[in-house]
């Protein structure tokens, strides 16, 4: 049955005249009719937020933490509904969404409930001619926060911003990706059920330019924008908010490198790089697309990685045995396949994959591609410099540590890196030298929500996570008292 996904504004589910279709990328079938918010509806959402703000910002951190915990509890209780909506929108295997997306969505609320309870401020005593002054800081909300999120980890990335924003006493106008409106709509139902005051959480559906996304960015009464998505979209948003001088937090694209040294635990490194290249069909911003392997183990490593790629099971996302889902859309598949073609033009050796699998039945209307490994490209090739955002990596040999670091840093992006070595001295030394906001040593995508998260260069602006989220979603006010 096709669902109806409505906007949620001022505590009510709101329809709009214009709708668009939400499709299941595993079989091309419709999932929902989505009510698109235009500038007028976004304006209603912003005004509802503004009206709710004075009372919400006066609630205590403890009260807000309790709301967040109730939200987490309802997500956990309705985990099956969230799982079904996420799998229908993304085609990701239930084995992935049930372990990663849905539990992490709830965990974001629990984590920021704990963090806001524990957060404190700064206090300084300052000597003055009259005696001394006391300076202390107050953490106050930004106000109305605009949240714009992508499709690759829909609930996880949406709640990663909604939870800290609410924890800090902000009201939000939030837009999920047009590709994945399902779990955000369920989250609005959760907000309704826990009795969050009307106007504190507002959900608007739609696209970017000429639609809800641009309307949030252009609205004069939005006090800050937090965005996760492509680097070029981040640049557009930055231009559009520039003359309003508002805080922005950007989590953007990546072209992440893995460095594998000959002394690494071979099997762990192969399994780790395979996971980091192919998890979520390569559609995690942290995924590895560039693998650099120390020459003595290069051939063996490529063969073992290819074996792992071939062992992946594309198929029906609802089948627990499926380990590889489709890409998010036809349009995205066209983009990924254009890189598969470009790699050949640029002279790559296709070690495995490079095409579209035949799965049979309705799945052949889906957006599947084969997991793909390339070798033999120049470092300057477009396939080694541009983000593909699919299940693909290029493997290149290196001879020295210095060369490995140089290759890893030869990118306009700087989001994440993974180092595989048993020499921890080297691991720590190189971690400091890699230009990336996140470095994993002998692991990948292991996250502690208290730690700073974000990218360098084209990969982002600012950090979220732990107190860094609290800092972005707050204005810090200094109060100076002559004693």
Question: Which residues are designated catalytic?
Answer: 251, 285
151 forms part of the interface with ligand NAD (CB under 6 A): yes
Query: Distance (Å, rounded) from C-alpha 344 to C-alpha 394?
Result: 12
Between 178 and 316, name the residue whose CB sits nearer to ligand NAD. Answer: 178
Residues 396-425, interacting with ligand NAD (CB under 6 A): 415
236 forms part of the interface with ligand NAD (CB under 6 A): yes
**β-strands 372-375, 349-352: how paired?**
antiparallel
Q: How far is the CB of 385 from ligand NAD (least distance, A)?
A: 14
Beta bridge mates, 203: 8, 174
Between 33 and 447, name the residue whose CB sits nearer to ligand NAD. Answer: 447
389 forms part of the interface with ligand NAD (CB under 6 A): yes
Between 212 and 293, name the residue whose CB sits nearer to ligand NAD. Answer: 212
Cα-based distances in Å from 157 to 163, 183, 194, 215, 281: 10, 11, 21, 21, 17
Which range binds ligand NAD by CB under 6 A, 162-170, 201-209, 349-357, 401-409? Answer: 201-209
**β-strands 30-35, 19-23: how paired?**
antiparallel
DSSP string, 408-432: HH-SSEESEEEEE-S-HHHHHHHHH
Give how many residues touch ligand NAD by CB under 6 A.
32
229 forms part of the interface with ligand NAD (CB under 6 A): yes
Which range binds ligand NAD by CB under 6 A, 93-101, 246-254, 404-412, 438-446? Answer: 246-254
Among 387, 395, 420, 457, binds ligand NAD (CB under 6 A): 387
Q: In the complex, which residue's CB is closest to ligand NAD?
A: 208
Between 291 and 302, name the residue whose CB sits nearer to ligand NAD. Answer: 291
DSSP state of 434: S
How many residues are present in the chain? 483
Burial class (CB in 10 A: 0-12, 13-18, 19+), 35: buried
Between 294 and 464, name the residue whose CB sits nearer to ligand NAD. Answer: 464
Tabulate helix, strand, coil % of the chain (nearest 5). 40, 25, 35
H/E stretch holding 76: helix 61-77
Task: Name the residue with tokens 């800290």.
Answer: 164
Residues 204-223, interacting with ligand NAD (CB under 6 A): 207-209, 213-214, 217
178 forms part of the interface with ligand NAD (CB under 6 A): yes
Query: Distance (Å, rounded) from C-alpha 302 to C-alpha 149?
Result: 35
455 forms part of the interface with ligand NAD (CB under 6 A): yes
Q: How far is the CB of 221 from ligand NAD (least distance, A)?
A: 16
Residue among 23, 418, 92 nearest 281 (CA): 92
Q: Hey, CA dihedral for 380, 382, 387, 392, is it positive or negative? A: negative
H/E stretch holding 476: strand 474-482
Beta carbons of 432 and 186 less than 8 angstroms apart: no
H/E stretch holding 309: helix 298-311
Residue environment code for 332-366, b if the CB has 16+ CB neighbours within 10 A, otherwise e: bbeebbebbeebeebebebbbbbebbebeeebebb
Which range binds ligand NAD by CB under 6 A, 77-85, 230-238, 368-376, 423-431? Answer: 230-238
Between 16 and 152, name the residue whose CB sits nearer to ligand NAD. Answer: 152
Residues 158-177, interacting with ligand NAD (CB under 6 A): 175, 177
Query: Distance (Å, rounded) from C-alpha 159 to C-alpha 106?
Result: 8
Beta carbons of 34 and 8 less than 8 angstroms apart: no
237 forms part of the interface with ligand NAD (CB under 6 A): yes
Among 233, 277, 288, 375, binds ligand NAD (CB under 6 A): 233
Give the torsion through C-alpha atoms of 331, 332, 334, 335, to 10 deg.
130
Query: Distance (Å, rounded) from C-alpha 431 to C-alpha 443?
Result: 13
Q: What does the binding site for ligand NAD look like in residue numbers (CB under 6 A)? A: 148-152, 157, 175, 177-178, 207-209, 213-214, 217, 228-230, 233, 236-237, 251-254, 285, 387, 389, 415, 455, 459-460
């Amino acid at each position: 049955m096709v669902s109806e996904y409505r906007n949620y504004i001022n505590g009510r589910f709101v329809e709009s005249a214009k709708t668009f279709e939400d499709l299941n990328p595993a079989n091309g079938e419709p999932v929902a009719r989505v009510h698109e918010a235009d500038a007028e509806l976004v304006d209603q959402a912003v005004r509802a937020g503004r009206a709710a703000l004075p009372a919400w910002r006066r609630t205590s951190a403890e009260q807000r933490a309790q709301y967040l915990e109730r939200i987490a509890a309802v997500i956990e209780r309705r985990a099956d509904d969230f799982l079904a909506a996420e799998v229908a929108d993304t085609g990701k295997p239930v084995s992935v969404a049930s372990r990663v997306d849905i539990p992490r969505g709830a965990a974001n609320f629990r984590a920021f409930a704990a963090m806001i309870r524990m957060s404190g401020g700064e206090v300084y005593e300052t000597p003055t001619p009259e005696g001394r002054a006391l300076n202390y800081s107050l953490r106050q909300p930004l106000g109305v926060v605009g949240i714009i999120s992508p499709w690759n980890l829909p609930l996880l990335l949406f709640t990663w911003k909604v939870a800290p924003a609410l924890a800090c006493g902000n009201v939000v106008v939030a837009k999920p990706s047009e590709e994945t409106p399902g779990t955000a709509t369920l989250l609005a139902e959760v907000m309704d059920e826990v009795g969050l005051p009307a106007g504190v959480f507002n959900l608007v559906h739609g696209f970017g330019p000429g639609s809800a996304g641009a309307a949030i960015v252009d609205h004069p009464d939005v006090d800050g924008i937090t965005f996760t998505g492509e680097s070029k979209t981040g640049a557009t948003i930055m231009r559009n908010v520039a003359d309003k001088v508002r805080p922005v937090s950007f989590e953007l694209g990546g072209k992440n490198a893995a460095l594998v040294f000959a002394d690494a635990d071979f099997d762990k490194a192969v399994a780790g790089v395979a996971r980091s290249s192919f998890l979520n069909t390569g559609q995690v911003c942290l995924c590895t697309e560039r693998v650099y392997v120390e020459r003595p183990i290069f051939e063996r490593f490529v063969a073992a990685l290819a074996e792992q790629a071939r062992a992946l099971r594309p198929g029906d996302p609802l089948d627990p045995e499926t380990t590889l889902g489709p890409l998010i859309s036809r349009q995205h598949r066209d983009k990924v396949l254009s890189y598969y073609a470009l790699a050949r033009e640029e002279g790559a050796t296709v070690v495995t994959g490079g095409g579209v699998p035949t799965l049979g039945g309705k799945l052949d209307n889906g957006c599947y591609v084969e997991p793909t490994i390339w070798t033999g490209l120049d470092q300057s090739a477009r396939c080694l410099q541009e983000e593909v955002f699919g299940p693909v990596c290029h493997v290149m040999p290196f001879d020295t540590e210095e060369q490995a670091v140089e290759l890893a840093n030869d990118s306009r992006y700087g989001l994440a890196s993974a180092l595989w070595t048993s020499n921890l001295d080297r691991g720590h030394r190189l971690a400091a030298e890699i230009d990336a906001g996140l470095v994993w040593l002998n692991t990948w995508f292991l996250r502690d929500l208290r730690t700073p998260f974000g990218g360098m260069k084209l990969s982002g602006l600012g950090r979220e996570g732990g107190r860094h989220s609290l800092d972005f979603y707050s204005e810090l006010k200094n109060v100076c008292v002559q004693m």
